[in-house]
Chains A and B, each alone.
Chain A
Amino acid sequence: MADEAPFQFLHSELIQYIYKSADTEDTENGRNISKLENLGCRVGQGLIERLTKDAPRFKDELDIMKFICKDFWTCLFKKQIDNLRTNHQGIYVLQDSQFRLLSHLSAGKQYLDYAPKYLAFTCGLVRGALSNLGLRSVVTAEISDMPACKFQVLIQKM
């Protein structure tokens, strides 16, 4: 495919659909987020399988995270993660200063409340990718200043 517009539109339709199909609004919010996240997770698993088909084995956890930040992110959003930080104890913070899926929302504070649902699917993508690389994780996202956002990856020791 030559273009990312279809994916962007499909992604927002997906959010629309998940939110509309819920019965009540407030209490369901958490469940909608996790529904979106689970959908993303499945997609992430499929993608990483295709992407690492011919790749050599990874050295360690950090190597995997670097792969997520560079290759995986480039495939998804045509750019790399701008900043990767870690405490070397299983917590990684991935910072994207120009997150694609927020790019069509106003950069001000106006839509800050709506932004989390645009990140849930991507959190799932990362979690799914990691899970197929043998890492169990919890991925959350926070938005400080649109369209910049941070994904926090917490690797769970098995």
Chain B
Amino acid sequence: MSRQSNRTTDSKKMNSELFTLTYGALVTQLCKDYENDEEVNKQLDKMGYNIGVRLIEDFLARSTIGRCQDFRETADVIAKVAFKMYLGITPSVTNWSPAGDEFSLILENNPLADFVELPDNHNTLIYSNLLCGVLRGALEMVQMAVDVKFAQDTLRGDNVTEIRMKFIKRIEENLPAGEE
């Protein structure tokens, strides 16, 4: 029995490694399938979007968070609740634009890129681009059109990982055709 007790590992941490490694396998596969990094970035964003539009339902159902009043509140919810819940980290929210329609998420450690080193021939690959898609997709489902992109990435030699988010517009609820 003592042998068993030696082997117990933190299952939460392991589960995150499963996610990280699976993501790594996906990116590797994409790099094999596509010629250039641009295409890989695009594909990652698209897959992220697909995840985001479904993840938002899980999030709203479990977090009991209602409609956000403004973009600042949205930023807080994303950083403090959503990132915490799904990735176990809390990015800091900084660099607000004067108009309050743009901010940055600073990720101290990016769980997607835990064991990653980019080879030299992939210097335009945005490794964690899936996250942008997820954020965009999820916010679109709550009537917010947002532009999301990586401004800095430690994988590419920057000091921090920064996701820049810009509010574009509120999406009006569409009435079905023929109904006024």
Given the interface pairs A39-B25, A55-B6, the reply to whether A1 lies near B15 with Cβ below 8 Å is yes
Nearest chain B residue, comparing its CB with the CB of A58: B3
- In contact, A75 and B47 (Cβ under 8 angstroms): no
Indicate which residue in B6, B9, B84 contacts A75 across the interface (CB closer than 8 Å).
B9
Residues of A within 8 A of B159 (CB): none
Tally chain B residues at the interface, Cβ within 8 Å: 39
Q: Which residue of B lies closest to A121 (CB)?
A: B22
- Distance in angstroms between the alpha carbons of A39 and B58 in the assembled complex: 27
Contact, CB under 8 Å: A5 / B7 = no
Given contacts A2-B12, A75-B14, contact A10 B19 (CB under 8 A): yes
Contact A7 B50 (CB under 8 A): no
Could you tell me if B11 and A13 are in contact, using CB atoms closer than 8 angstroms?
no
- Which residue of the partner chain A has the closest CB to B52? A9
Secondary structure class of chain B's binding surface, majority of residues: helix
B1-42 to A contact mask, C-beta < 8 Å, 1/0: 001101111011111111101111110111001000000000
For B6, the chain A residues whose CB sits under 8 A away are 54-56
Q: A10-B23, A21-B33 are in contact. Are A1 and B7 (CB under 8 A)?
A: no
Q: Closest CB of chain B to A76's CB: distance in Å?
A: 6
B15–A78 touching, CB < 8 Å: yes
Q: A2-B85, A56-B6 are in contact. Are A13 and B51 (CB under 8 A)?
A: yes
Given contacts A1-B88, A1-B111, A78-B11, contact A13 B47 (CB under 8 A): yes
Contact assessment for A75 and B51 in the assembled complex, using a CB-CB cutoff below 8 Å: no
A75/B55 in contact, CB under 8 A: no
Does B87 belong to the interface (CB within 8 Å)? yes
Q: Which of B12, B22, B51, B85 has the most CB of A within 10 A?
A: B22
Least Cβ distance of B41 to chain A in Å? 14
Asked if A2 contacts B88 (CB within 8 A), the reply is yes
The complex places the Cα of A78 from the Cα of B47 at a distance, in Å, of 26
Residue A16 CB within 8 A of the other chain: yes
Nearest CB of chain A from residue B25's CB, rounded to whole Å: 4
> A7 near B22 (CB under 8 angstroms)?
yes
Contact: A5 with B86, CB < 8 Å? Answer: yes
- Shortest Cβ distance from A40 into B: residue: B25
Identify 9 new A-B residue pairs, CB closer than 8 A, beyond the known A9-B54, A11-B22.
Answer: A1-B12, A1-B87, A1-B111, A3-B88, A5-B86, A14-B26, A17-B47, A43-B18, A78-B11
What are 11 inter-chain pairs, A to B, with CB distance below 8 A?
A1-B15, A2-B12, A5-B86, A13-B50, A14-B22, A17-B26, A17-B30, A42-B28, A43-B24, A47-B14, A50-B17
B-to-A contact residues, CB < 8 Å = 3-4, 6-9, 11-19, 21-26, 28-30, 33, 43, 47, 50-51, 54-55, 58, 84-88, 111, 115
Question: Which residues of A line the B interface, CB within 8 A?
Answer: 1-7, 9-11, 13-14, 16-18, 21, 35, 39-40, 42-43, 46-47, 50-52, 54-56, 67, 70-71, 74-76, 78, 121
